[in-house]
Copies of this chain bind each other. A is one copy, B any other.
């Protein structure tokens, strides 16, 4: 059980860091360049910037590389990011999931920052998993076993909330969720 928890946490760390750190790289240029979709509402909204997308992804990748180094240096018994590119799909996928959620949120007319429970907590998890599965299905199925997935689904909203609280207290986030 403890090993399940450690494995789930280990596998999700790049996604947690990329998703939660995007807000630290505030940035100015929005990914949608301020443009509206065909419904007259913003494509993604002002909250989604290139700097956040790229900064968050790079931090997630950095964390994954550090994890892989720590594993190699210490022989701790945790899953291996091998092929190493899964770190990219986990980190960038997390950002894409969040972006896709924002797109849908704008279509529903939900303002930036207004909560959409469940979608807000799992957008990045779904994005990280789907992108990684698409590119590295063998690695995904081998590492994200049903019990790991179950633990990750419970863990993710809790850590997401914890990370967001930190961002809020640091004054980097306008809402504590």
Q: Which A residues contact B (CB, under 8 angstroms)?
A: 104, 108, 116-119, 141, 146
Contact = CB atoms under 8 A, between A and B. Distances in A.
A80 to B, nearest CB: 21
Q: Count the copies.
A: 2
Nearest to A133: B150
A118 B141 CA distance: 25
Contact of A116 (B104, B117, B141, B146): B117
A3 to B, nearest CB: 19
A116 B108 CA distance: 11
A146 B104 CA distance: 26
Nearest to A116: B117
A142 to B, nearest CB: 12
Nearest to A119: B118
